[in-house]
Chains A and B, each alone.
Chain A
Amino acid sequence: VSDSALADLALDFSLLSLFAIGGVITVLPEMHRTVVEVRGWMSGSEFADLYALAQVSPGPNILVVSLIGWKVAGLAGAAVATVAVCVPSSVLAFAVSRIWQRFRDARWRLALEDGLVPVTVGLMLAGGYLITLSADDSVMGFVVTAATAAVVLMTRIHPLWLFGAAGLLGLAGWV
C-alpha cells in the first residue's frame, strides 16, 4: 500500500465530508467524479456496484467510502477513508448546531435553509442520473431502474425486497 494513495483518500474524503450538506446522496455526484474521473480508481460500473453494496448492507450508506478505501488501499485504506469522511462533517455539524439554535428565527437562517433545498434536490437528481448511467448498459437495466423508482415512490415496500428481486432477475440473465 502506497502512502500517497492513503493521503489521496484522506484528502478527497475529508473535503467531501465538508460538502455533505444533505447526506451521502448529495455528495454522490462529486464522489463519482473524484473516484471515477479524477483519480481513476475504478470504472463507473464498479462504483455503482459498491454503492449498491453499501445500500444493501445494514449500516449507513456513507460506508460506501469504506469499500472505496478498501479497493484502493486495503484495510488501511478503508479505515482512512471512513475516518476522513466522518470527522470533518461531525465537527462542522457540532459547531453549526450551536449557532443554528441561537438564530432560530433569524431571516438569514430561514433563507439559508430555503436556498439550500433546491441545490440539494438538484444534487440528488444528478446523483441518480449519474449512477443510473454507470449501472445500466442494457435496456432491461434501465427498465429495472425505472420500475424500482416507481415502486419506491408508490408503495411502502422495504427496498431490500426490490434489490433481492432485481438480483434474481440479474442472476436469471435478464438484465
Chain B
Amino acid sequence: MIAPFAIVLGLGVLYTQYGDLPAVASAFRGISAAAAGFIVAMGLKMAASKRLRSAMALFAVVTFVSIALVRVPLGLLLIVVAPLSVAAAFWRRR
C-alpha cells in the first residue's frame, strides 16, 4: 500500500505544482471527461446485470434519484431505502 500511496501522492504534487499551466489544465479537461465516462460505463455494466431484471430495479431508480438529483446524504438512504430493498428481496425469496 505504501508504493501506490507514494505514486499517487507524487502525481498529486505534480498536479498541484503544474495544474495551473494551460497545457496541463487542458489535458486534464480531457482526462477527467474520460474518467467520468469510465465510471458511467461501470454503472451501466452493473445495471445490465441479470440480478437487476425484476421489479427490484425500482430500488436502483429510487437510489439514483435520491442521491444524484435530490442529493440526500448517503446515511439517510441506507437507513430508509436499503432496508426496504432488502425487505422486498426477502419477500421475493419466499
Contacts and interface: CB of A to CB of B under 8 A. Distances in A.
Interface of A: 15, 19, 25, 27-30, 33, 37, 45, 48-60, 63, 66-67, 70-71, 75, 78, 82, 86, 107-108, 110-132, 134-136, 138, 141-142, 144-150, 152-153, 159, 162-163, 165-171, 173-175
Interface residues of B, number: 67
Nearest to A53: B11
Given A152-B37, A168-B30, A57 B11 contact: yes
Given A25-B43, A166-B30, 13 more contacts: A28-B39, A30-B73, A49-B32, A53-B12, A54-B8, A63-B8, A67-B9, A115-B88, A116-B85, A122-B60, A149-B37, A166-B31, A168-B27
Contacts of B61: 122
A132 B36 contact: yes
CB-CB nearest 9 A-B residue pairs: A59-B4, A122-B63, A170-B30, A148-B37, A115-B86, A166-B34, A52-B35, A114-B89, A128-B40
